[in-house]
Amino acid sequence: MKLKQPNAQGKRAGRSGRLVQARDRIREERLFIRRAVVSFIFVALGLSALVGRLVYLQVFNHQYFTTLSENNRVSLQPLPPTRGLIYDRNGVLLAENRPSHRLEIVPEQVDDIDATLQRLSTYITISESDLRRFRRLVGRSSPYVGTPLRFGLSDAEVARLAVNLHRMPGVNIKADLSRRYPLEAVAGHILGYVGRIDERELKTIDTSQYSGTTHIGKTGIEKTYEDILHGEVGYQQVETNAQGRVLRVLSKTPPVPGKNLYLTIDIEFQRAAELALGDYTGAIVALDPRNGDVLALVSMPNYDPNPFVNGIDYASYKALNTSPDRPLFNRALYGAYPPGSTIKPMMV
């Protein structure tokens, strides 16, 4: 059997096809090289921009971002001063400071404040007035500073909260000193009371001198001698972790405690004068004729200032404020009475 030899035309067609394939392959290789070069240029430009930005941040702006980082982990915390005590002329204690605890929340460290408040309410009692005051304070305070939610926590409440704090970032229990009047209603009008700083007072006080302080003198001696009793705020610079927990104290300027006051009042005279008035409405003032010292200054009926310190409840305040006997009114200082026969010596 004889094989048929390909003719010349077929040979030319085969060579032509191979040439076309070779040219296509060369074109594809050139196209690939061009695309690779363009891609490399874009990658190189991107890397150059990234390296340039890194050099800008790490070299040229190193000091700026170092300072910014330090500010984020180092904070200045106020240290409230201890309020001065009040004594009578014989050294009997009339106003003291008792150890107490308050509950604070740092808004910046809390993801969901409403959920946190709801959880806290399962451990302790939180009144509507507590919630209103807390939301008002959050709106006008720095989110990085603890905002008080509850004052005067009992030992049982502190214990319940302490074992659950790890579940609530940003919630802290702070040791505090709470004002207390050991003789209760005795000399209540004279001493007055301290209370939480309100919005009106924030506009008139030097806020730098009340940083970390929640109370101020409202009436009586507590208000009149506020500058002496309050003291001076201290500060400490602390290093904190990402959760805001204090790691160490870097520096500290201790607060200056308030000065103690000694009144001219003799508390035994005061008590005797109050007992003498009994259930009557009126006032008694006893002076030392030798030097004019006020030994007793009584207004009856009187009231116990202790409930006002951490916020008296509405029902109790309404009962005092609407009572026809007006126990909140200081008759010895502000009452107007006919002089009677006391004017006769001046008429003779």
Q: What is the pLDDT along the chain (348 residues), one digit of tens a residue?
A: 455 555 555 555 566 666 667 677 777 777 778 888 888 888 888 888 888 777 776 776 666 666 555 555 777 778 889 999 999 999 999 999 988 888 888 887 888 888 888 888 888 888 887 888 788 877 776 676 778 888 888 888 888 888 888 888 888 888 888 899 999 989 999 999 998 888 788 788 887 788 878 889 999 999 999 999 999 999 888 877 655 667 778 888 899 999 999 999 999 999 999 999 888 898 989 999 999 899 999 999 999 999 888 878 788 888 888 888 888 888 888 877 777 666 666 665
What is the value of pTM for the model shown?
0.68
- 214 three-state secondary structure: coil
- Catalytic residue among 178, 208, 316, 341, which? 341
As given in the structure block, the two tokens for residue 57 are 């941040």
The domain boundary residue, chosen from 262, 296, 314: 262
Q: Give the gyration radius of the chain's Cα atoms.
A: 39
The domain boundary residue, chosen from 230, 247, 262: 262
Report the domain count for the chain. 2
The domain boundary residue, chosen from 219, 244, 262: 262
The answer on 299 and 194 residing in a single domain is no
Predicted local distance difference test score (pLDDT) of residue 260: 96
Predicted local distance difference test score (pLDDT) of residue 128: 83
* 179 beta partners: 97
Predicted local distance difference test score (pLDDT) of residue 11: 56
Q: How far is CA 23 from the centre of its chain?
A: 80
The answer on 199 and 79 residing in a single domain is yes
The answer on 275 and 211 residing in a single domain is no
Please, are residues 304 and 255 in contact by the beta-carbon 8 Å criterion?
no
Predicted local distance difference test score (pLDDT) of residue 13: 58
Q: Give catalytic status of residue 341 as yes or no.
A: yes
- 68 three-state secondary structure: helix
Residue 29 domain flag: no
The answer on 138 and 100 residing in a single domain is yes
Q: What CATH number is associated with residue 238? A: 3.90.1310.10
The answer on 297 and 161 residing in a single domain is no
Range of the domain at 286: 267-334
The answer on 255 and 280 residing in a single domain is no
The answer on 311 and 217 residing in a single domain is no
Residue 228 domain flag: yes
The answer on 304 and 250 residing in a single domain is no
Predicted local distance difference test score (pLDDT) of residue 293: 92
Cα–Cα distance measured from residue 196 to residue 98, given in angstroms and rounded to the nearest whole number: 16
Predicted local distance difference test score (pLDDT) of residue 271: 93
Query: How many other CB atoms are there within 10 angstroms of residue 153's CB atom?
Result: 19
Please, are residues 300 and 276 in contact by the beta-carbon 8 Å criterion?
no
Q: Which of 245, 253, 104, 257 is nearest to 175 (CA)?
A: 104
